[in-house]
Structure 1
């Protein structure tokens, strides 16, 4: 019989709770409270002692703000040490149910089912071949004494019913203040939406604060606020129709893990992977089951979906605690005293720890391998963390504090009126600098502020750049977010490991669908995720921007994702539910920058404080909120060695876009070196950013010279320094770029004035490089030789891909240069190996395929229709490559209508089939190139021809649902 015990040795049962509300419910079930006992020095747990159903029990709760399996294990281990007579424990609290059988307010008890123990750690496993997944997080069964008691109680419920309702009534009698929240009432509505229907947020739904430790938390530790208690914006027609329900106790499998499950699709996916028998998800039990003999009891408070709310939590905690009390009532105290103490189980805990250490060692090795595969860019081609470091490193100390101290930023940071912060600004206002300051602020706060839950706050950043758009499709950007949120964790998620294995085996990038699927899972693993996207207006195109924003909205519906966007104005103007916070270069920040730059001007400025102040006043006024303009104007003062020259320059300064144009014009006029002007022309006219090595070779090319003279390679840093601040060497990408997008816009708009012959000259340079004697031997015979060639000739890739673009600006009188190149089979093979083969044509890689590609193939692929008639005098229009494709196939594949017409006019055989049996009409029909389909039909192409698989052009068009093509073929 339990008594008012006085010794640590008198307590035989331990109850562990994760949340204060769970502890409240457990304490309310005590029949008698006992006085507290002192803790050992190394035990920081807070205990409540008492008697429950004739057992002396110890109740402990996880420390405030700490959740997950490791925290639960720590609490239980200390409890066993302090109270050595504890025989078993009960993990009592709330969890998320798996519909349709489990309902809100039900109780789930962990018992073995389907060959699995009562609790399984769902996020521990190994990805294996064929995309299968082997579960390794298998935990111990509950102790036999508890399983026997559960069986006894289950029979008692069938015959007499449960005592839970009576215990709840007794609780409210003893503690009337608990009645409103901890007992069932009409305010508790059980609504379960269809699995594929996500929560629709409304403006009236406040967002969680990650810094207020007094806020409520759900069973996953998510901080939640009053107001998240309904789905006011959700369509009730998408709710499941279910009959009225009485509280039910379920026995079976509980899935435990370290990641939040707030996604119905993910919930169902994990359940299916575990055999379909999961009743409940939670986050602490897996930390106990190997080191603490216990059973897990969960009251159901939500359905693990995006509609998760807090209304049922107190009642769910109460029914779980009531069941724990009823379970103890069927266990004789003498039976408990005679059982083995939990302390003796610590040996298995030690063994488990040693096993975990070995696993962690293996995992760390795996993490390193996964992070560094493909030079670290297997998942995302751009390292935005390096860009972040580079931008932040160049920030002027003290800049941007006005932004961080503004109430609008605090509103977003602490989850106020909106989770989306839109920061528009004029070009050159310093938006990128502000973005880097915010990212650093968030990461510093996460590491240093105890109010931020360790490893529960994610921060990711994207720097969109108009010069890197080829690597910034929406799936590239999402992949980078996935990389930042997943690969920085100590344990790489199983899904990421699986994607990495596929990359290593097949060298294939993950599909957009797989990327977003894993991103949803990664986001769900944090209590809050901050995403900062800089220069949204510099996305590849409107479709990319829309898809990215749509995906971010989906993530916000799934989890607490707070999104900050910078952009030129008018991208998100007047969008409902978005905090608008314009960015500008504050006068204080501009003056701080100008003060730091005065030392770079002539000595006449250094000696004259009045002149210094005049410079700061006039430049700050002319900059008009544009850091970029202030930077350019300070550059214009360099080299001015008299007061008169400086004042003359100050009087010229204009504001706004007119000021930018004037500044760019003045900067160009200050460039004295012809090599620096040549470099600037390359930067303006190149189709992508050129690396340092590529640019050095490009500048070293000499017309009519058949080999590269390495003594003609320049020191690029010196050449860049002569560009009057218009060009910068990007230390992150090791590429050469213009100082700002507005500079690109200005020089592009005035290209005929500044660089009238640049594009033609670049075309000649590309063809000269491609025609070097080194390449006359043709394609490399293996991958190693090709890599060696590209290292020795870094400009070869750019020249191979883009020479035709630059050639399109040349006059007809210089066509001879291109013809000479295209008629040299060795040169064509070398260039084709680097650039030609379309990604969706699975041709052999190496000498075999590229040596069979003729100059006519190359001209057809690149739409060089003006050269086709001249080439046809020397080359066959029906030549075939290694796969049997003709130039007409190539032109058709790339939708080059004029080239198709020229090839047909030159007598190309439109019915000639490739090795697959596909004719040009097959290709045009499959690609939806209806104009070419019509042209081929008009010339007499066989519409009924069949490929090796029996397919006709019509069946291909029907399969692709290309109605316009189908009409032409019928």
Structure 2
């Protein structure tokens, strides 16, 4: 979240006018996940702040959610509903296509249209669900009228209650079908509801055709997607353009995952079993094309023949995620047999790499020509499978078996512990460490201590340190404490400090742990490190910047005061000037105020002679320009080239940047060492049109 916010701020700062559209804010929160809710409100805080400090226009859409609506109390609100004409047109068309007692009965059709139009209250989804419900009871007028009475009674219920009742009826219609149709519908809804990503129609019909225990895929068992849709009682919809099949509405996902999870027996466990069966087909063992890997990770592409096996890529990329969610119940004999089959594991590993590459990820940490089942189970974090495989092998150090494997592991380490750590599977990582993996050489220990700190794996880090790993060991010039501080893992930072980690160790490029915490906006970690005596004036020599300078540069106002109060040099000069100069250049008015209030030198120039006012003027930050002038900044100060703040403002086309300078008496005819005036510069850069109105203000 913090990285996205920094990028957004940088984009806004670089533009004179910005339009932001936030669609479906209600889908950003579950209502029960406090972490998600906090992230949403933090994001909205940033957006609203950008509206204050920059020329930002905002359009947001959402269902009526009280917590979200309150955030927009001062905004213009337009309620959007399906028009009655649209709903009437849809219902009229669908009613005319109905058979049974409805067909040809104009009076009954009129009652249907009137009842549905009143009952749906502008919700197009409800109109669609009611039409599907009528199709199931159109054999007699009485059944139709009873359905219409139910619709009318539900009119005054909440939107959620109405949709859930409609879904209840759809489920009853599914269960009233013959056994084969019931099974097909349930399996289809299971896959669509719990898939890790949206499925294509071809993926779904292949998933439905998988038969447990069969060694090959039977094309004769594949259904038509139209038939699958028809038995699902209107609950699924096919997007003809993308080929994606989804539930009819996001509320249907909420219904099946929250209200009716009992309708499915094992969910993730069932999907795991079907995926493993698919990956275990003989074709993926016998055909070498499925397991070939290129030398360079960025060249991974799926084998051509996988196009005939539509579920293969999904199964390879996600079977383990389903297994991890299912827990121990998913780890059966079939899975262990699959993980013990070297050919099937290699083919699955290759498909997994191809899927990673297709998503724009270069899977260096996974690149291994002889991956084992333990590597695969470690990648997905399937702890029960890891435990059972370890018990069989009796050795946690599973290198790839190639000659000199330990020498090659530094670049493309395929050790199972490394895979587990790189992909955040702490439970699996701890199991390996407890069995002695990665602790028999200083090089390995330093790598894994840093990796555990970097990935926020407190338990893995604690195990490594308990087994004698040195908390001050450096892995490729990287320090564990710095990694934990950057990650924001308070427990890991406390653990490392308690084990004697040197708090002010500094590398030339990135600086100390304190600076890493500042750059990551980890306020609690900053205060924790300062409480333990971290020096706030140590910077990275490569960029000559202290933690305070970095906070001013990035815009992290929350950590500025703690640093100053613990002795940070407020006027330290780096390659790009003082913290005040950098905050002014980036337009961080809140930090400029804090620094000035704490005694920062308002006119202290950088190494090029630019004062904070010069840099603010050159970056078009009108609010900061006004603030500096109000606090007494020297308006005629010049840099080493003789350029004044007005010269700097003349380089950019923004009328608002000229106005405060000219109002305070800046002289437009003053020349620099090349005898250029701000007026000359404005003409040279094509900004004379902006300069003229500003002069006359």
Same-fold call, TM cutoff 0.5: yes
More strand by share: 1
**Counterpart position of 1:600:** 97
Q: Relative to 1, partners in 2 of residues 1:572 and 1:753: Cα closer, same or farther, differing over 3 Å?
A: same
| Partner-residue secondary structure (3-state), 1:579 | coil
CA–CA separation in structure 1 for the residues paired with 2:437 and 2:168: 51
Conserved 8 A contact 2:368-2:414: no
Structure 1 pair 912–768 and aligned structure 2 pair: CA distance change class (3 A): farther
Aligned to 1:534: 23
Report the counterpart of residue 231 of structure 2 in structure 1.
722
Aligned to 2:467: 939
Cα distance in 2, alignment partners of residues 885 and 781 from structure 1: 14
Provide the rounded CA distance (Å) in 2 between the counterparts of 1:877 and 1:924: 17
Shift of 1:731: 2.8
Alignment partner of 2:62: what SS? strand
* Match among 874, 877, 883 for residue 396 of structure 2: 877
Is 1:890 the counterpart of 2:402? The answer is no
Gap change, CA 1:922 and 1:741, over 3 Å in 2: same
Alignment partner for residue 682 of structure 1, among 187, 191, 210? 191
Q: Deviations over 1:856-899 (max 9, x none)?
A: 12222222222223201344411235523532233334443432
CA apart distance, 1:662: 2.2
Within 5 Å, give how 1:491-890 maps onto structure 2: 524=17, 533-539=22-28, 541-542=36-37, 543=39, 546-547=42-43, 550-551=46-47, 554=50, 558-559=54-55, 561=57, 563-570=59-66, 571-573=68-70, 575-585=72-82, 587=84, 589-602=86-99, 604-639=101-136, 640-653=138-151, 654-655=154-155, 656=157, 657-671=160-174, 672=177, 673=181, 674-776=183-285, 777=288, 779-782=291-294, 783=299, 786-808=302-324, 809=326, 812=329, 815-835=332-352, 844=364, 849-875=367-393, 876-880=395-399, 882=409, 883-890=412-419
Determine which structure has more spread, i.e. the larger CA radius of gyration: 1
Q: In the alignment, is the contact (CA less than 8 A) between 2:269 and 2:330 conserved in 1?
A: no
| Secondary structure, counterpart of 2:265 in structure 1 | coil
Measured in 2, the distance between the counterparts of 1:940 and 1:700 equals 53
Alpha-carbon offset, residue 739 of structure 1: 0.5
Distance 1:572 1:952, change over 3 A: same
Structure with the bigger percentage of helix: 2
Could you tell me whether the CA contact under 8 Å between 1:911 and 1:920 is conserved in 2?
no
Give 1:737 deviation, angstroms: 0.4
Which residue in the other structure is 2:456 paired with? 928
Distance in 2 between residues matched to 1:556 and 1:954, nearest whole Å: 37
**What SS does the aligned partner of 2:61 have?**
strand
CA contact (8 A) 1:822 1:855 kept: yes
Say if 2:472 is the partner of 1:953: no
Q: Distance in 2 between matches of 1:537 and 1:761?
A: 31
1:901 to partner: Cα distance: 3.4
- What corresponds to 1:436 in structure 2? none
Question: What is the distance in 2 between the residues matched to 1:534 and 1:669?
Answer: 34
2-structure distance, mates of 1:732, 1:536: 25
Deviation at 1:658, TM superposition (A): 3.0
Any idea what the Cα deviations from partners look like across 1:522-566, whole Å, max 9, x if unmatched?
774xxxx87654322113744257537744863786447352423
Partners of 2:238 and 2:381 lie apart in 1 by: 34
Separation of aligned partners in 1, 2:82 and 2:346: 53
Deviations 1:501-526 (A, max 9, x none): xxxxxxxxxx98667756776774xx
Q: Label 1:555 to 1:771 Cα distance change in 2 as closer, same or farther (>3 A).
A: farther
Q: CA deviation at 1:709?
A: 2.3
Aligned to 2:575: none
C-alpha change, 1:651 and 1:862, in structure 2 (3 Å) is: same
Measure, in 2, the Cα distance between the counterparts of 1:813 and 1:562: 46
Quick check: 1:692–1:716 contact (8 Å CA) kept in 2? yes
**For residues 468-487 of structure 1, what are the structure 2 equivalents within 5 Å?**
none
CA contact (8 A) 2:210 2:277 kept: yes
User: Which residue in the other structure is 1:149 paired with?
Assistant: none
CA contact (8 A) 1:889 1:919 kept: no
Give the Cα separation in 1 of the matches to 2:347 and 2:368.
Answer: 7
2:430–2:459 CA contact under 8 A, matched in 1: no
Secondary structure of the corresponding residue to residue 670 of structure 1? helix
Once the 2 structures are TM-superposed, how far is the Cα of residue 714 of structure 1 from its aligned partner?
Answer: 2.4
C-alpha separation in 2, matches of 1:732 and 1:556: 41
Cα–Cα, structure 1 residues 594 and 552, in superposed 2: closer, same or farther, change >3 Å? farther
d(CA) in 2 for partners of 1:840, 1:943: 34
Give, in whole Å, the separation in 2 of the partners of 1:663 and 1:676: 17
Give the Cα separation in 1 of the matches to 2:144 and 2:2. Answer: 47
Q: Secondary structure at the match of 1:919?
A: helix
In 2, the alpha carbon distance for the partners of 1:845 and 1:744 equals 35
Secondary structure, counterpart of 1:659 in structure 2 = helix
Give the SS at the match of 1:723: coil
Matches within 5 A, 1:124-523: none
SS of equivalent residue, structure 1 residue 851: coil
Kindly state the Cα deviation for residue 903 of structure 1 after the two structures are TM-superposed: 2.3
* The 10-residue stretch of structure 1 (584-593 or 647-656) with the greater mean CA deviation from structure 2: 584-593
Q: Distance in 2 between matches of 1:765 and 1:753?
A: 20
Tell me what 2:693 maps to: none
8 Å CA contact retained: 2:50, 2:56: no
Whether the 8 Å CA contact 1:520–1:555 is kept in 2: the answer is no
SS in 2 for 1:736: strand
Using the size of structure 1 for normalisation, the TM-score is: 0.43
Please list every run of 5 or more consecutive structure 2 residues that lacks an aligned counterpart in the other structure: 30-35, 401-408, 501-697
Q: Assess, with a 3 A threshold, how the Cα gap between structure 1 residues 842 and 642 changes in structure 2: closer, same or farther.
A: closer
CA contact 1:913–1:920 (8 Å) conserved in 2: no
Count how many residue pairs are aligned between Structure 1 and Structure 2. 455
Deviation at 1:966, TM superposition (A): 3.6
After superposition, the C-alpha distances for 1:783-824 in whole angstroms (9 at most, x for unaligned) are 476342443333222212321232242664862111111112
If asked which structure has higher relative contact order (CA below 8 Å, sep 6+), I would say: 1
Give distance in 1, aligned partners of 2:479 and 2:232. 58
